[in-house]
Every structure is written in C-alpha cells, then in structure tokens.
Structure 1
Amino acid sequence: MPTSELMPIGVFARRCGLTASALRFYADSGLLPPAETDPSSGYRYYHTGQLERADLLRRLRGIAMPLATVERVLGAAPDEAARLVDEHAARIAGEAADTLRRAAALRTALGAAVPGTPIAALKGPVLADAVEQVLTATAHEPGLPVLAGLRLEAGPEGVSLIATDRYRLSVRTLTPTEPADRAWAGTLHGDDLRAALGEVRRSTLVRLEATPHGVRLRMAGRSDRLCRQLPGEFPDHRPVLASLGGPTTRATVAKGPFLRALEDHPGERLALRVADGGVSVLPADGTGSGVRLPAAVTGEELCVRFGLTTLHPAVSTALGPDVMLDLRGPDRPVTLRSADGGDLTTLAMPVPPLPDS
C-alpha cells in the first residue's frame, strides 16, 4: 500500500470527524480496523479509502444506532442497509412518541394540584378544526421557538388563534360556548396541541384554564391536557392586518380544482395570473399556458409569484368549496378566505420575480 495514502490516527480523525479514542474503540470492536499498525510502536495508520466507511459509521452512531445494527448496515447491500436505517428510525420515533405521551400525562398529573383560572369554554370539534388549520402556519426555527407555537388570545370578542412562519399568517376567531371569564394571551406549544387534538375533537365541550406555565384543557370523561406556554415575544399580527389596505384585485375560485392545479405544478415556485374570468397557475416566470381556472374576478389584471409550500397550505385550509383571494400587488400579501363565510383568514407572502422574468 503506498505510504502517501496512509495517515496517522490523528489526521484520519480530523478528516472523518471521529475522535482518536472513538477510532480506537471501533478498531477494537472490529467495525473499523486500521489499515496498518506499526509492530514496534503499535501506532495505527488509516487509508484514505476508509474515509467513506468512517463517515457512514459516524452518521449511523449519530442517530443512536446500536453497534450490532451498525455492523449489519456496514456489511449490507444498499437496499438492505436502507431498510435497517428505516427500521431503526421507526423504533426511535415510536419510543420518542411514547416518551412524549408519558411526559404529557406526568406533566398533567404534576400540575393537577395547581389551580387554574377559567378562560373560556369551546366546542371540542370546532376547537380541534381551528387548531389544525392555524397550526399549518407554524415553523420550527432555531432561536425563535414562538414560531412553532399557536398564539391564543381570549377576550370579550372571542378566542383568537394565531400562527405565523413569517411567510404565512393564519388567524381564526372562535365564539365561546360560554363567554370568556377573563382576558388572557399566550403562545402555546404546537406539539402539545397536536398531541391533544384527538381527545379535543371527541369532546363535546373543552374548558380552557390558565395555569402559571400554560393552558389546561379540561374535557368531561377524559384526562386533562396541559399545553405548555412558550417563552419569547410573539410577532404582533395586528399592525400587519391593519396596514394591508383594500385589495386592487379580487378573485373567487373553486377550492378543489385550485388545489389540484397547485399539486400538479412541477416547480417550487409558481406565478398566479388573475385576469378577467380566470385564475391561471403558471411557471414561475409567468409564461406558458399553465392551468387556467374559471373565477369571478374584479379589479385590475395582476400576476403574483409564490413559493408552492406557502400557497398550497393556505389554500388547503380555507373553509368551504370556494376560496376568495384579495390581491394588492406583486409584492404585497395576499389574503385568502372562505368565499361563503367562515372566520379563518390567511395571509400569504409572495416571492420576488425570477431574474429577467
């Protein structure tokens, strides 16, 4: 073996991202023996061709895969290796979900003795639908935990649910079955709410109670669920809504065909051209025939570009068979609402045109 292709254990460790002690452990385990060992000093040398195996070993251990399974993956054909990785990931996900359920039950039990202050009472199916719709506008971003949460604001006008990922803003206001007992505002952990949705949906009435660390959901005949309050300041949506102004163009289009056109669109971005009698879903440069959908349109012709992952969820969560779009220009937020009532309002931010488009 050419000496130029060998490297000391320290150099190899830096190249592959493993520590020297980890390499010694994997060598002794038989998973990654050195290419050569100096018989007099015992010093270990590794070959450049071992870097790929070392990198894979590091990544497999990075997902907490047991050594026995790692050995099977390293010795398996690609299809079998992929199956073993999926099997391990499914087991980890199952264990994590079970841990979350146990933690939620324990958290509720520990907080049972903490008195809660009544906020409002809502119909369970209505609350579940609203939470599910609004949570589509959340995002997990490092340093901004509130973007993964749902803002709950209760007051005389009702209970408002708000979420934003900075590209979408969803707001829905519910009328309580019983008037709000007090004003309350806080950002609740989105994962806690998702975990409680099944029980909430099956409950005729859900009573919301404020606790020092979140909101307790009380449901007759079911265990209480405690939704944690997230730290940090939630973006104030009111100035955004207040500054929108009236639309320059309004279009009402059937939700089903609109969604199908978006789902069939091949690109990550698209152009939405709104003109008399129709809404067209076009390639991002705004050219081509695309898919033209019949629509009731008032106002000036307009072309606005969106990221597919921004527009599709905004349309899919709209209430009713038709969607109303209020457009204000190519660089202004578009408001999406149900055309026949409903109280879910979603803002979708457009993206800038492609160069030379």
Structure 2
Amino acid sequence: MPNSELMPIGVFARRSGLTSSALRFYADSGLLTPAEVDPVTGYRYYRADQVARAAGLRRLREIGMSLAAAEAVLDAGPGDAARLIDAHVAKALADAEAVRREAAVIKSSLTGAPGLPLAALKGPVPAGAIEQVLTATAHDPGMPVLGGLRVETTPEAVTLTATDRYRLSTRTLVPAEAATAHWAGTVDGDDLRTALTHIRRSPLLRVEATPHTIRLRGADGADRHCRLLEAEFPDHRLTLASLPAAGTRVTVAKDPLLRALEDQPGERSTLRATRRGLHVRAAGDPGPGVPLPAVVTGPELCVSFELTTLYPAVGTAVGPDVLLDLRGPGRPVTIRSADRGDLTTLAMPVRHDHCA
C-alpha cells in the first residue's frame, strides 16, 4: 500500500484516542497489528479503516474489560458482542456490590462491639413482607434513601416501611422471640433483595444491628449483612398521623380490579365509587368504564391514579379482596387486605380532567 494512504503511529494515536505506547502494546498483544512496519526504521503505519477497531478497543478497556474479553467483543458479530458487554457489566456491578457490602462489614467490625439483638423472626414471614413492602421503593440518585426499607423494632413488633413519595407501604410483624431493643434504621433495599433467599430458607432468623449494617443470622450460623443508609428517611409517621378519616370505603375483589386496570388504555385510570359498585375507566374518559361488583359505604367519589402507583399497591394486597379507603381527590387512598390488615399501602391520586 502506498505510504500516502497510511498514517504514522502519532497521527493514528490522535485519531483513535490511544497513546503511541498503548498502540505498541496492543500490537505486541496481537489485538491491533499495524498495516505496515518499515523494515529499516521500525516505524509503524496504520490504515484509516483501523481507527474504528482502535477506538472500540479504547472504549472497552475504559470500562475495565480484559484484553481477552475485549478481543472477543471486537471479533464478534453485533448480537454476540452486545451479550458479552452485558455479561461484563453485570459481573462488574455484582463485584462492586460485593465490595460495598464487605466494606460495610469491615467498618462495623472496627469498633469491636457485639451486634445489638433486634428480633427473631420465622424466615419465610419476613421474606414475604420484605418483597411486598419493597415494591414501594424507588431508585432516585438524588434521594438514595427512597431505595431503602425503614425497619423499626420494639419488643412487641417489627415494622417495615418504604416509600417512593407516591406510595407508602408498611407492614408489621410479630417477632417469634421478644427483644428488649427499641431501634430504627434504613436498610439498603438492593442488599435485602440479594439476601431474600437466605432469609426465606431460615426457619428462625435472628436480626442484629451493627454500626453500619444489620446482620441476618440463620439457623445454620451463616450471616448476611445489609448496609444501613445514613440519609434521613421521610417522616412517614407524620404522614400517617395526619391522614383525615376516610369518607368512602370500597370492598372489591382484587383480581377483577387488577384486570380492569390492565385493560385501561393510557397511563392513568379513574376509580368511581357509587352505590352500584366500582367503575374503572381511563382518566378523562366520560364513559361508564368497567363495572365491578363492590360494597361501597359513604359518599360517591371519583379518584384518578397513575397506573404505576395504583397497580402495585393493589397487587401486593394479601387475600382475594381489598379495601380502598377513599378521602377524596388529592388525598391519599389507603389500600389493604379485606381480611388481613398487617400490610397497608397509601397511594397518592392525581388530578383528573373529568369525573362526572
């Protein structure tokens, strides 16, 4: 190839974003071989069509890929390359989370203080409760505490609470063995999700607090640590205490209500409670909507919700029937099981354009 069509290593380095020393290293590794090497001077020359591979190699190395993994991506087709990149990212994230958890354990061990016993629970019970309440969390970089689960313990009860500012879910558990500690902290939600299998398989789960984690100790003696979040949790107790009394109560079968919500077009749905039952329709739709048999007490009301707020609140309720305590437009609706009241969810409505 004529030299006029080739780039010396310095020019190629500027175009690819790699240093000359990196290019020499990749050439020696066989990942990016020069198009020509002058036999007298040893100068290396590259073609223009090698820039894309060089830039891709740079990007892959910047996200921490090994040489072998980067070569496999560069030599693969688009589909296989994407899968290899996804696998690398998943492993990197898992490794980072493992480091973060282990760092919290190490920090807690620095004081040398023993863990504070909080409660003993039958493992399958808190596992189910954690899954239910965690549906009300949110991943918000500006407020990471919204991704956590608030845990409050007394000798009589363990209360779990989560909120994404549009929903608030809370459930109270009775410990298998009474503890003496009154304690409150916010536990990393992702750590709890990772620990769910361990929790569920523990006939008896002992929960202890350390300075930076809660320790979950199963009957087999194996421990799992979940990090504590330092940011202040939203004042959910004030929210619950300031709720006005519900004026209208609706008792409705859960599954038909969920199906009606699924079938509504758009992102918002309106619930209209009347003496004849509950009607579900798309927000802003003046039509009658889907009628559902329901027991309604109190004044007729019409309230609209984002589907992403209402649907999980109804879906996590225990049992075949749910209670909806309505307070009117703009005020939280309480959603809970009709026969088991240990899980309660508040859902914030939205403004609706038409509710005749």
Bin for the TM-score computed over the shorter chain:
0.7 to 0.9
Partner secondary structure for residue 310 of structure 1: helix
1:303: which partner in 2?
A: 303
2:224 pairs with 1:225: yes
Q: Are 1:23 and 1:32, in contact at CA under 8 Å, matched by a contact in 2?
A: no
CA-CA distance at 1:45 after TM superposition = 12
For structure 1, list consecutive stretches of 5 or more residues without a partner in the other structure: 1-7, 35-41
2:233 pairs with 1:241: no
Partner secondary structure for residue 130 of structure 1: helix
Q: CA offsets per residue over residues 228-287 of structure 1, 9 Å max, x none?
A: 2211211111111122212233222222222233344453x2222223234344334334
1:212: which partner in 2?
A: 211
Partner secondary structure for residue 134 of structure 1: helix
CA-CA distance at 1:339 after TM superposition = 0.9
Change (3 A) 1:290 1:69: farther
Distance across 1 between alignment mates of 2:160 and 2:62 = 38
Distance across 1 between alignment mates of 2:226 and 2:296 = 43
Change (3 A) 1:147 1:33: farther
Change (3 A) 1:319 1:56: farther
Q: Are 2:108 and 2:210, in contact at CA under 8 Å, matched by a contact in 1?
A: no
State the AA in 1 paired with 2:302. Answer: L
For residues 97-116 of structure 1, the aligned pairs below 5 Å read 99=98, 103=102, 110=109, 114-116=113-115
1:286: which partner in 2?
A: 285
Q: Are 2:108 and 2:212, in contact at CA under 8 Å, matched by a contact in 1?
A: no
State the AA in 1 paired with 2:257. Answer: F
2:178 pairs with 1:182: no
1:275: which partner in 2?
A: 273
| Structure-1-length-normalised TM-score | 0.75
2:234 pairs with 1:201: no
Change (3 A) 1:27 1:291: farther
Distance across 2 between alignment mates of 1:22 and 1:336 = 64
Q: Are 2:105 and 2:225, in contact at CA under 8 Å, matched by a contact in 1?
A: no
Change (3 A) 1:331 1:56: farther
Task: Indicate the percent of aligned positions where both proteins have the same amino acid.
Answer: 57
CA-CA distance at 1:66 after TM superposition = 4.0
Of residues 99-108 and 233-242 in structure 1, the stretch that sits farther from structure 2 once superposed is 99-108
2:312: which partner in 1?
A: 313
Q: CA offsets per residue over residues 171-202 of structure 1, 9 Å max, x none?
A: 11122223330211111222332232222222
Change (3 A) 1:221 1:105: farther
**Number of aligned positions between the proteins:** 339
Distance across 2 between alignment mates of 1:60 and 1:297 = 60
Change (3 A) 1:323 1:50: farther
| Structure-2-length-normalised TM-score | 0.75
2:250 pairs with 1:251: yes
Partner secondary structure for residue 188 of structure 1: strand
- What is the alpha-carbon root mean square deviation over aligned residues? 4.3
Distance across 2 between alignment mates of 1:346 and 1:85 = 39
CA-CA distance at 1:314 after TM superposition = 1.4
Q: Are 1:320 and 1:339, in contact at CA under 8 Å, matched by a contact in 2?
A: yes
- Structure with greater Cα Rg: 2
Change (3 A) 1:26 1:228: same
Q: CA offsets per residue over residues 206-235 of structure 1, 9 Å max, x none?
A: 222232223322332231333322112111
Change (3 A) 1:118 1:83: closer
2:100 pairs with 1:83: no
Distance across 1 between alignment mates of 2:262 and 2:21 = 47
